Amino acid sequence: MATSAYRISPEVARQAAHWHMLMLDQSVSPAQRDACASWRAAAPEHERAWQKAERVRTQLGLLPPQLAMGTLDRERRQAIKQLLALAIVAPLGYLGYRQLLPQAPYATQVGQHRQFTLADGTLLDLNTDTAVDIAFDDQQRLIRLRRGEILVDSGPDVHSTRHRPLRVSSAQGLMEAMGTRFVVRQHESSTQLSVLQGAVRVLPEHGPAHLVEAGQQLTFDGLGQGPVGVAREQDSLWTHGQLVVDEMPLNHFLRELGRYRPGWLRCQPQAAHLRISGTFQLNNTDAILAALPATLPVNVDYRTRYWVTVTAR
């Protein structure tokens, strides 16, 4: 049994994963290489974590030998870094990486869905990899969306003697419910609001307020600007474990599916334009991938269970 002297702490594992991925970037600078070498030499635990990162990367196939990190979006880089960090600490259980991090009371892990009834009677559904903070006081009922996607079915607030607006905050602004049912999704640099019933007043961080009514979808930035589309009830069916798509490009479909499974799911450009339709059960994403070659001219290649590529056949 390993003694505590040879264990690697979660914090050092996260640092090792950061340096490891940085060194795989073909654009890494000499100064960054020197800084990495200094970090490795700073403590024996650092070097042990570095060596373990090398071993688990090879064993688990988390990353190719060289990787231009600029070709990966921020979300994928972060996901791979998190997988590697947990593998350094506990290779046999590395998919539970988020267990190393403090968990909010209102949060889900990848692939998980949870529903809560808040103190005012509001029903709150959390989609995969989502976290929110709840802050109710005498002035307002506030739901802070930290990451992910939520469905809000506003309650009557019968326990309060004064009107308290129900609001959802995101990185781009504030949304105030007006007797409504709506979905909010936090993207990297925008917020997507889909109003299914009632109406929602949008107060962007730096722009004028405006109203989004039932059947409308708005994706907005900090100025409140962005495309307006149609809000579809089927887009909330993740609350029932379903993903419903209609003639969706395959690369978009795999990006959506990848939200519900750990690891990296990618699509080669030659297959990206293919279209897919159907209702898919999210409790078994491997079955969805296994069925793809029967309906589309593609192959599904597993480097590992958590590194999957869909290629044109």
Joined tokens for residue 93: 């259980």
Joined tokens for residue 312: 């044109």
pLDDT at 250 over 90: yes
Cα angle at 113 between 87 and 168, to 5 degrees? Answer: 110
Q: In degrees to the nearest 10, what's the CA dihedral of 126, 130, 133, 138?
A: -30
pLDDT at 6: 62
pLDDT at 104: 56
Gap between the Cα atoms of 29 and 32, Å rounded: 5
pLDDT at 34 over 70: yes
Q: How many residues does the chain have?
A: 313
Closest by Cα among 107, 106, 83 to 96: 83
- Residue recorded with tokens 């869909």: 310
- Please answer whether residues 71 and 64 qualify as being in contact, where contact means their C-beta atoms are separated by less than 8 angstroms: no
**Mean pLDDT score of the chain, rounded to an integer?**
84
| Chain segment 168-181, per-residue pLDDT in tens | 999 999 999 998 99
What 3-state class would DSSP assign to 144?
strand
User: Span 5-33, mean pLDDT?
Assistant: 81
pLDDT band at 271 (very low <50, low <70, confident <90, very high): very high
Query: Domains of the chain: which residue ranges?
Result: 4-100, 106-236, 241-312
| More confidently predicted of 69 and 32 | 32
pLDDT band at 200 (very low <50, low <70, confident <90, very high): very high
Contacts of 313 (CB under 8 A, 6+ apart): 293, 297, 298, 299
| Chain segment 97-156, per-residue pLDDT in tens | 444 444 457 899 889 999 999 989 999 999 999 999 999 888 899 999 999 999 999 988
pLDDT at 96 over 60: no
Whether the predicted model's global pTM rises above the 0.85 cut = no
Class of domain 106-236: mainly beta
Pairing assessment for the beta strands 141-147 and 166-170 based on DSSP bridges = parallel
| Chain segment 50-86, per-residue pLDDT in tens | 888 877 765 555 554 444 444 455 556 666 677 777 7
CATH code at 241-312? 3.55.50.30
- Please answer whether residues 273 and 267 qualify as being in contact, where contact means their C-beta atoms are separated by less than 8 angstroms: no
Closest by Cα among 236, 233, 242 to 283: 242
Q: In degrees to the nearest 10, what's the CA dihedral of 87, 93, 95, 96?
A: -110
pLDDT at 68: 40
Joined tokens for residue 83: 């997988």
**Helix 30-41 × helix 10-24 angle, to 10°:** 150
User: Span 227-233, mean pLDDT?
Assistant: 93
User: Span 11-26, mean pLDDT?
Assistant: 82
- Residue recorded with tokens 């071993």: 55
How much of the chain exceeds pLDDT 90, in percent? 52
pLDDT band at 160 (very low <50, low <70, confident <90, very high): confident
